[in-house]
Structure 1
Amino acid sequence: MKKYDKYQKFIRYKYGYYSFNLLISLFLFNYFLGLIFNFQWAATKELEVIIIMFVVVLFFVNISVYQNAYFRKGENKKSYSWLFLIVGLFSLYTAFQTFLISPEEIIIDGKLGRGVIQLFSGLIFISVPLTYFIRVRIDKKMENKEQ
């Protein structure tokens, strides 16, 4: 956290707190869903926990990128965004190939299988450049309106 300024640290702590509360809420919701309705939406309980964590990480990463608190001040945001886009597209491509070859990796008897781990990791990598480029576009529109 050395190369983040005070605003970036504040935003990361703030949304880290929100992410933690979201994580606890989703865990409790999932627990009561299984307790009351005896409902399991993934192949195993461990996979349910991993998917919930991916959802929370996706939230934290996107809000941090949008609030300009994900990348450090000296980093080349555009280069990293392109790198994340390439890695995300490759991950989504391999997840798609997995689905074509053995769909039971993704969906098993109507429940999510362990193949969704690669899908969610690809979504996280894809979401970084998408959020960054949306933020850049919004900032450019705001600058044009001010002039």
Structure 2
Amino acid sequence: MNSYDEYQRFIRYRTGYHSFFLVVLLLLVNHFVTGVKDFQWAEDGSVELLFIILIPGTFMNIVSTWQGAYFNRKEKPLRSNLVVLAMGVMYVWLALYSGSISDRGLVIDGKLTLAASQLMLGLTWISIPITYIVRKLWDKRIAD
């Protein structure tokens, strides 16, 4: 059984809808840029698609966390934030120190590489605890 309340389900639905719309819009823009203008901005199509999906994913994580709909009511936010932060730090570490940057780099010949998408994925995970902490500090400031 799902332990999200009605408000959380609504926020998750709404941010999911907006994220899906953003994915479609970014795919259309990417199709125009890569197809019509013949401009390749990533090393291959899979890296392009990964970046296109990570942007709305990050948006959805930040908005859901800010509005209190990312964690369900029975979940311990501190424990979950630590797990998500560890995952984000792991991806950032993999992107920066696994040898892919020293061997290849984040950008080669003006094109984003797979290491850049790993960095973006790490930042996506790290955005959740950062947003949660900022929201708690914001609420505390407003309450004072």
The verdict on a shared fold, with TM-score over 0.5 as the criterion, is yes
User: What is the match of residue 30 of structure 2?
Assistant: 30
User: Tell me, what secondary structure is at the counterpart of 2:114?
Assistant: coil
Structure-to-structure mapping, 1:1-147, within 5 angstroms = 2-97=2-97, 98-102=99-103, 104=104, 106-144=106-144
TM-score (norm 2): 0.92
Preserved contact between residue 88 and residue 124 of structure 1 (Cα < 8 Å): yes
Preserved contact between residue 105 and residue 114 of structure 1 (Cα < 8 Å): no
Over the aligned positions, Cα root-mean-square deviation in angstroms equals 1.5
Aligned residues: 143
TM-score (norm 1): 0.90
The separation in 2 between residues aligned to 1:86 and 1:43, in whole angstroms, is: 28
Preserved contact between residue 106 and residue 112 of structure 1 (Cα < 8 Å): yes
Shift, 1:12, TM fit: 0.5
The separation in 1 between residues aligned to 2:86 and 2:73, in whole angstroms, is: 23
Change in Cα spacing, 1:66 to 1:45, as seen in structure 2 (3 Å) is: same
State the identity %.
Answer: 36
Change in Cα spacing, 1:100 to 1:112, as seen in structure 2 (3 Å) is: closer
Amino acid at match of 2:21: N
Preserved contact between residue 62 and residue 127 of structure 2 (Cα < 8 Å): yes
Which structure 1 segments of 5+ residues have no match?
A: none
Which structure 2 segments of 5+ residues have no match?
A: none
Shift, 1:116, TM fit: 2.0
The separation in 2 between residues aligned to 1:46 and 1:89, in whole angstroms, is: 23
Amino acid at match of 1:14: R
Question: Which 4+ runs in 1 deviate beyond 4 A?
Answer: none
The separation in 2 between residues aligned to 1:8 and 1:34, in whole angstroms, is: 38
The separation in 2 between residues aligned to 1:35 and 1:125, in whole angstroms, is: 31
